Amino acid sequence: MVSEDLELKEELFDKLYDWASKDALSETMQCYSNGPDTILPACEGEWSDPDGQDLAPIKDATHMLEIVLSLNYVYKLYFADYQPEDERHKVIKGWFESFYHRIKPAEDFFFGNFAGFYFPNIAIQHSQNKNYISMVKNMVKGLDEWTFADGSMKNRTTRGNRALWYHHSAIGEAFIIMEIARTANVEIPTNLEKKLLKAVELFHDAYLDHSVIEPWAKEAHNSQASNGHQEFGNSLLDGVSTLSAWFNIFQMRYPEHRTAKWLNQELTSKSESLKIAGTTGVTLGCIHQALVDSSPEGLAKKEAERIKAASELSIFKLDGETFNLTLDKVDFIETGSFKLERSEKYLQPYQLHKGFINGNLKTRGDSNKKFDFRTLVYKYAYTEEQKLVINVDNRQMNHLRMHRKPLRKKCGFGLMDEWGWLSFISKTNDVKNAMNQQCHYDYFKQANDKQAWELFQAVLGSTDSILDYLETNVEP
């Protein structure tokens, strides 16, 4: 048993029993079988429409299995030894086993569907104390054959406008396979590891520049044409949850690799890779990150990074565990009433006091110097940081907006996303965020754009003043 919170443990266990006793999800149309017809006739025909707009019941069946299987993995790890004599275990186990006949046998390898259904078949064999080593060997062999020397992944990197996403998901499955192989003491071909490093580098470069993946994406396998643009779904790696454990696995296995260092810069403690694992149920990203962070080497490295950062951050002063902004303060003076932004389509739980504000930014050192400041803003929630987020997609913020792409290229997406939201931090315990804010400061200082540089300094210096205004005048 992992959790020490017995009340929570009981609540979750009983919820699982509730689902099982009601035979939840069992009415979902069955599309897969462990018999001769692995895909039932009524579910064939996926991608009969070249643009993928056809209705496909097999998608529902796959998603249903993902839910059930991930719960099964969680149950086996966290609940199998919880009150072992409790009769509810029989009901829960019976419910899981009722779906086993809906799982395809692990035969020909392919990316997607739990690595060609190898993951659930290996898990079932393991739970029944049956030998599964041959399955792992076949899975590794398949991965080797489906990963190419140029870093591309078969039928994934060629997926048109979604090539970057499918390439990422294939890497995600690949690194889970590698961890399973290591655990099972199955030999990993030397060339496979080299090819996967190449695949990771391809993702890294294509994430920053979509044109990098275009030579493969233009094939448009089971997809729409990309035309040089990838629909990845999230501009911030923190928000990627599907098969994202590889972000953390890779950092543990290859800490000195350029992509590992980039991931370390881009990801924060709020990363979805640490919290969500739809395919495996168990958050492998969190486990691998914990192994890194808790090791003597990890603890020493973390402390060294803090000390090094403190010496290099010219705009912050380290006070205990907190980095405090040291720039001259700037005051926000209201010149017009604010307007709340409460559209359900755009309002997110982390956006506090969101609204359009109108005013001037006045420097305390020069009372004659002021900046017109009218834009949509909010305070970022769920953090001990003092973080102001502003939208630069308007005329008043044009001097900042023009620098979006080069700013992201230099400093990453951590404080500047693709939708025009730019963050300003005056206080943080997160050394990476402090370093990212310093990177923004250095970028504008060196950008040879006096108007953008002065406006950036004014907004950063007024972060506390604007946040105080929002907390006092704008409802949460």
Q: List pLDDT tens digits, range 262-285.
A: 998 888 888 899 998 888 988 998
* 122, 283 Cβ separation under 8 angstroms: no
Domain identity same for 154 and 295: yes
Q: Is residue 310 part of a domain?
A: no
Domain identity same for 226 and 188: yes
The span from the CA of 399 to the CA of 325, in Å, is 23
In the predicted model, what is the mean pLDDT of residues 453-473?
Answer: 95
Q: Is residue 136 part of a domain?
A: yes
The overall average pLDDT reported for the chain is 90
As a residue count, the chain comes to: 476
Domain identity same for 148 and 216: yes
Q: Is residue 304 part of a domain?
A: no
Domain identity same for 238 and 291: yes
Span 91-100, pLDDT tens digits: 999 999 999 9
Q: Is residue 381 part of a domain?
A: yes
β-pairing, 330-340 vs 316-319, is unpaired
Q: Is residue 317 part of a domain?
A: no
Q: Is residue 314 part of a domain?
A: no
Domain identity same for 213 and 290: yes
**pLDDT range class, residue 160, cuts 50, 70, 90:** very high
In the predicted model, what is the mean pLDDT of residues 317-322?
Answer: 87
* 352, 380 Cβ separation under 8 angstroms: yes
> Domain count of the chain?
2
pLDDT of residue 418: 76
Domain identity same for 419 and 378: yes
Q: Which residues lie below 8 Å from residue 118, measured CB to CB, with a gap of 6+?
A: 106, 109, 135, 138, 139, 142, 177
For residue 157, pLDDT beyond 70: yes
Q: Is residue 341 part of a domain?
A: yes
Paired tokens of 295: 């090791």
pTM of the model: 0.68
* 413, 428 Cβ separation under 8 angstroms: no
For residue 427, pLDDT beyond 70: yes
DSSP state of 39: B
* 224, 161 Cβ separation under 8 angstroms: yes
Span 248-257, pLDDT tens digits: 999 999 999 9
**pLDDT range class, residue 236, cuts 50, 70, 90:** confident
For residue 45, pLDDT beyond 80: no
Domain identity same for 382 and 422: yes
70: amino acid identity, one letter = S
For residue 55, pLDDT beyond 70: no
pLDDT of residue 217: 96
Domain identity same for 255 and 328: no
**pLDDT range class, residue 1, cuts 50, 70, 90:** very low
Q: Is residue 270 part of a domain?
A: yes
Find the domain containing 221 and state its range.
6-299
For residue 436, pLDDT beyond 70: yes
The span from the CA of 351 to the CA of 235, in Å, is 17
Domain identity same for 93 and 221: yes
Domain identity same for 371 and 456: yes
The span from the CA of 179 to the CA of 185, in Å, is 10
Q: Which residues lie below 8 Å from residue 87, measured CB to CB, with a gap of 6+?
A: none
**pLDDT range class, residue 47, cuts 50, 70, 90:** low
pLDDT of residue 15: 95
What percent helix, strand, coil does the chain show, rounded to 5? 50, 15, 35
**pLDDT range class, residue 441, cuts 50, 70, 90:** very high
Span 105-152, pLDDT tens digits: 999 999 999 999 999 999 999 999 999 999 999 999 999 999 999 999
pLDDT of residue 358: 94
Span 31-43, pLDDT tens digits: 999 988 888 888 8
322: left (phi over 0), alpha (psi -120 to 50) or beta: beta
CA distances to 10, 76, 90, 353, 456 from 86, rounded to whole Å, are: 11, 15, 8, 48, 62
- 76, burial (CB in 10 Å: exposed 0-12, middle 13-18, buried 19+): middle
For residue 467, pLDDT beyond 60: yes
For residue 78, pLDDT beyond 50: yes
Q: What is the DSSP string of 376-416?
A: EEEEE-SSSSEEEEEE--SGGGHHHHTTHHHHHHHH-SSSB
| HSE toward the beta carbon, residue 102, CA cutoff 13 A | 24
Strand order in the sheet with 330-340: 316-319, 322-325, 421-428, 386-391, 370-380, 351-363, 330-340
pLDDT of residue 91: 97
In the predicted model, what is the mean pLDDT of residues 362-385?
Answer: 86
Domain identity same for 277 and 387: no
Domain identity same for 185 and 109: yes
Higher-scoring residue by pLDDT: 164, 305:
164
